[in-house]
Structures are given as C-alpha cells and as structure tokens.
Amino acid sequence: MADQSPPLTWSVDVTSSQAPPQSKYKVPAVVERSLDGSGEFIQYSGELGDPSTAGANFYRRWDGARTDRLNEAHWAGALGQTIDSNLAMDLPTLRNRCVHEYHNNAIVQGLVETHSADIVGPEGPSLEVLSDDDRFNSAFESRWREWTEICDHNSELHLDDILRLWVRSVWHSGAWLGQETTDDTDSPFPATMRLHDVHINRLDTPWHMHGDRMVAFGVRRTRSGRPLQYYVRKPECFGPHQYDSGEFEMLPPEAVFHGYIRTESHQGAGFPLLAAALPAIAQLRDYDQSVLDAAQLAADKSGWFVNKDLTGEKFEPEDAKTMETTHRRMSSRAAPPGWEYVNTDATHPTAQYVEHRRERLAELGRAAAVPLMLIRLDSSDHNYSSARFDHQGYCWHIKWWQSWLKKSVLNRTARSLARELSLAGDIGRLPRGLKFQWNWTPPPQGDPVKERSAERMGLQNRTLTFAAACRAQNLQEEDVIRSWARTFKRLKDAGFTREEAMQFLNSGPSRSGSGSRAPNDARPGNNPANRPQSETAKR
C-alpha cells in the first residue's frame, strides 16, 4: 500500500527582502514551513540593525514560547545555559543564603531535621549479610555493628550521625563530602578504615588551575565526566576561626564520598534543595513581619490627630517636624477644640492570612515530597484519609533517599570493611555472591493497628515472610527468634509448664486463657471466624 502521508512542503516568498531580527544578512523571509500542510506562519519586518525591526512579529505555535512586554522580565533568565555554567556564578550565594535560613528560620530547620531523621531513623540502618557462608554472615554482621560505633575519624560521631549530617548538607549546601581515612589511635578493632566528614565548601579549584579546562568545582574529570582527582582545601585554624592557607590536599576518587542530586546530564556540582524555595521563604518572612507590625500598631492604639474644623485653633506637638507625640500607657489624650483622635483599625492578620501562609509553606518541602502536615507538625486540618495519602507519597520518597545512601555510601563502605577484615584474618575469606541487605526503621504510622493487621494478613496469606516482616521494622530475623527463645526459657524457669508457656507466646499476656480471640485482619473483634458461636451454629 502506498504511503498516503502528505509530502514535506516549503513555501518561500522570494519577492520579500525582509530578514529575521538580529541577522546581519538580507535574505528572503520564510513564510510557511509545514509537514502536513498546516504549518506555522513566521513574519519579520525589516532587517538587523534597522530600527524598524523593533516592531517585528514572531508567531509561535506554543504560547509558552512567546515573549511579550508582560512576560519578558519573567523569562529573562531562561538563556539555555548548562547547569554548571549557572552554578559557577550562583552556587556560593545559594549556599550562603540557604545556610542562613537553616540557622535563622525555625520552620526551615525543623523541616530539614524531620526529613533527615525520617530517612536515617533513630539508630541508622542495620546490616543483614546474604551469602552461602552462615558463619561469615554472622561474624561480619557483628563486626559491622561494632564498627558503626567507632567509624568516625575523630571518634565523635556514629554512622547514623554522619548520614544525618550528609542529608542536611544536601538541603542547605547541595552536596556532601566525606573521606575514607585510616585510624591512627591504635584501636584494638582489627580494621583501621574510618570515615571523615569534610565541609563541602572545602572542595574548591586551586587558584592556579582556574585555566584548566578539565577542572571545575574542585574536581578534575575526564571528557565524559568521570572524576580523576579531588582538590580539598587545608585551612589554618586560629581558635574557632579558619583561614585559607592556599594549600590543597589531592584525593583519589576511591577515597572520596561525594554525593549530590543530579538533575541534568554532565552535572558537576549539586545545588541546595532549598534553592528553589528561597524566594518563598524570604517573601513569607517579610510578609509575617509586616503583618506583625500592623497588628502591633493597632494593639498599641496608635493613631492620628485629625482637624475637623479648619478655622479652629491650630495644634502642633512638641516636635512639629515629625508630627509625632509620645504615648504613655494608661493615659488619656486631649487636643484643642476641632481636633479628633482617630485610632487605627485592628484588621491584621486578615482572614486570608492563615490560608496564604499555608500555601506558601507547602513550597518549602515540595522538592523532597515532604507534606505540609510534617512541615508544620500539625495534622489538625487533615482527616485520616488525606493524612495517610500524603504520608504514603512521602514514604516512597524516603525509600528513594535510603536507596541512594545504600548505593553511594553503605555498600561501598561495607565491602571495603569486609575486605580489610578478611585480609586481617578476622572473618575468613569473602564468600561468592556476597550481598548486603539494609534495613531501615520506618517512620511512625498514623494507625499502628491497621499496619499490624495488614502485616498479619500478609503472613497468613504467605505473601509476606517472617524475615521480610522483621526487616520492615529494622529487626533481624535471628534476633527476633533468639529473643522469643529467651522469653520461652524464662517462662519455663519461672514455673510455667510447656503448654502454658506456648499459650502465653501464642496469645500474649493480655489475652491468655481459653476465651481469648485473635485480632481481626481488618478491625479488632470484627472477624466472623473469631466471634463466639452458639452450640447451634457450631453444629
């Protein structure tokens, strides 16, 4: 069957001497270009350099691509440059402003702290080693738990503290920077690998390398973007102050942890998550202060003396230049005949103030899918369904962050530690197919009963294993079984028979006895199979 699509057609006005604006050539104007006969119309008036080109018309198919006097200022920054070109000029300013807001705005600081705590959890992730060698798995898991307590190069932070610090750094500085170092304190731990947190501002290009085409933001990269060398400043300390010494430490990529969110290809540096919300943060703070000033002005009963009788006696306060008079509390005011004292109306905050503030606050956490109820730490205006829906989307985003930390930090750190312990003869040879399972403590649920009911349904339907249920709560299957075994042993040591101990473990201390009922899958006490039945129903 022959192709019925219309041919590519061009229609050119060869009689016109019009040229596009900002062109130094005089060429025929393209009147129509179409693929299906519909095309778009482009019309120019005049040529470049001719003042008549100021009135040129350019008709675009997309309204969003049109520029006129009403929107030209709004799109003035849309120049199509690469993100690195823009960050080279704006990144220091963005970092300084975001750090300032983080330390001076309680809402911003609370948002960042809530997000970092939900990602890392109260104690950080736990490791479950997966391989065919059970002895190796148990030994390395034990060593890992010990190492997380002493992993900091300065012996001040635990692993979860470092991870939370790096999440905060992405919010206000755009990236984190860490270094893999060696312990020099003669620690009895068989491995010397440690982590050292480095301030991201110390990653910088040396002054004599600013002309090097392959060095940007303190990193030397290949043409494809692979990092080859990191340049880290070595500041001089004077008490609480640090001064630039001009010296740099060159670090190889395998000794550096450098993480940032990439939004474009070939991006060499990260920008703060708070960057897009900075205008809203500044406007909201200024608006709050203006509303507060207006409310305080009305609360102080400040007002004006208004002359109702222009022919009456003139009145001026002591300072006639400013037309102000001192107001004392609990005192009356008087003026000559014909003058009246008018109070300001207490109209602030306005009726729309709270709603406007809520909408602007929602912009702060959108970059990380943080819902408004967590930004404000207030769910009074949410019903259960809406709060649960918002929280579910937030939890998906939390899992993305955890996966990012796992792939960029945790897996690499665990393999390096396992390799060093193996070479030291502490845990034996590394088995084949070694994998790491990281378990994170989930954020608290709004309705634990429903979550436990769903968990019970998964276990009963065999769609959820006991090990997976333990991992969801950041628990180890072996630890849970060992804990129940210890409880069972203590019950028998306390005088319980085996049957009584089994009944206790099966039903729990609050429902022991023959009349106990198992909770329903959906709602406690609502499962027909668990309801007491009459003798007739049983037959």
What average pLDDT does the segment 153-179 reach?
96
- The torsion region of residue 27 among left (phi > 0), alpha (psi -120 to 50) and beta comes to beta
Sheet of 193-198, strands arranged across:
193-198, 176-182, 256-259
- Please say if the pLDDT value at position 442 is more than 50: yes
Q: What is the pLDDT of residue 41?
A: 43
Q: Which pLDDT score is estimated for 70? A: 87
Say which residue the tokens 């668990």 belong to. Answer: 530
Domain spans in the chain, listed from the N-terminal domain onward: 1-71, 83-277+367-431, 447-539
Q: Look at 127 and 14; give whichever has higher pLDDT.
A: 127
Confidence class of residue 474 from pLDDT cuts 50, 70 and 90?
A: confident
At residue 322, the pLDDT reads 52
Residue 27 above 90 pLDDT? no
Q: Which two tokens stand for residue 82?
A: 């690469």
Of the two residues 249 and 449, the one the predictor is more confident about is 249
pLDDT above 50: residue 18: no
Report the range of poorest mean pLDDT among 8-22, 50-64, 157-171, 178-192.
8-22
What was the pLDDT predicted at 413?
A: 96
Q: In whole angstroms, how far apart are CA 58 and each of 27, 45, 48, 76?
A: 16, 10, 14, 17
pLDDT category of residue 29 using cuts at 50, 70 and 90: very low
User: How much of the chain exceeds pLDDT 90, in percent?
Assistant: 42
**DSSP code of 5?**
S
Both tokens of 367, joined, read 């970059």
pLDDT band at 5 (very low <50, low <70, confident <90, very high): low
The pLDDT value recorded for residue 296 is 78
Secondary structure of residue 494 in the 3-state scheme? coil
Q: Which residues are CB-contacts of 472 (< 8 A; sequence separation ≥ 6)?
A: 439, 442, 455
Q: What is the structure's pLDDT at 406?
A: 95
Confidence band, pLDDT 50/70/90 cuts, at residue 69: confident
pLDDT band at 194 (very low <50, low <70, confident <90, very high): very high
Give pLDDT, residue 225.
Answer: 92
Select the more confidently predicted residue: 65 or 416. Answer: 416
Name the pTM for this structure. Answer: 0.73
Instruction: Find which of 81-95, 332-346, 468-482, 505-519 is predicted with most confidence, using mean pLDDT.
Output: 81-95
| pLDDT tens digits along 218-231 | 999 999 999 999 99
Residues counted in the chain: 539
| Phi, psi (deg, nearest 5) at residue 292 | -65, -40
- Which tokens is 444 given? 């608290």
Q: In this structure, what is the dihedral angle of CA atoms 11, 17, 18, 21, given to the nearest 10 degrees?
A: 120
Q: How confident is the model at residue 327 (pLDDT cuts 50, 70, 90)?
A: low
Structure tokens at 373: 């109820």
Interval 32-42: pLDDT, tens: 444 444 444 44
Please give the Cα distance from 16 to 207 (Å, whole number). 55
The encoded tokens of residue 159 equal: 């692993």
Taking alpha carbons only, the member of 302, 291, 359 closest to residue 325 is 302
Contacts of 370 (CB under 8 A, 6+ apart): 111, 114, 115, 364, 394
Question: Is pLDDT of 12 > 90?
Answer: no
What's the pLDDT band for 297 if we cut at 50, 70, 90?
A: confident
- Reported confidence tier of residue 21, pLDDT bands at 50, 70, 90: very low
CB count in 10 Å sphere of residue 428: 13
With a cut of 80, say whether residue 445 has pLDDT above it: no
Where is pLDDT greater, at 360 or 324? 360
d(CA 362, CA 381): 14
Residue recorded with tokens 């019970």:
456
> Among 116-120, 284-288, 442-446, 461-465, whose mean pLDDT is lowest?
442-446
**Res. 15: pLDDT tops 50:** no
* Pairing, β 219-221 against β 227-233: antiparallel
pLDDT band at 522 (very low <50, low <70, confident <90, very high): very low
**C-alpha span between 286 and 289 (Å, rounded):** 5
Give the pLDDT score at 417: 96
Q: Identify each DSSP E strand in 190-226 by its residue range.
A: 193-198, 215-216, 219-221
Highest-confidence segment of 2-16, 76-90, 465-479: 76-90
- Quick one: tokens of 194? 């440690």
The one-character DSSP state at 28 is: P
pLDDT band at 301 (very low <50, low <70, confident <90, very high): low
Task: Give the model's pLDDT for residue 316.
Answer: 61
* pLDDT band at 531; cut points 50, 70, 90: very low
Average pLDDT, the chain: 80
* Mean pLDDT, residues 395-399: 91
Residue 336 — very low, low, confident or very high, per pLDDT cuts 50/70/90?
low
Mean pLDDT of 461-486: 82
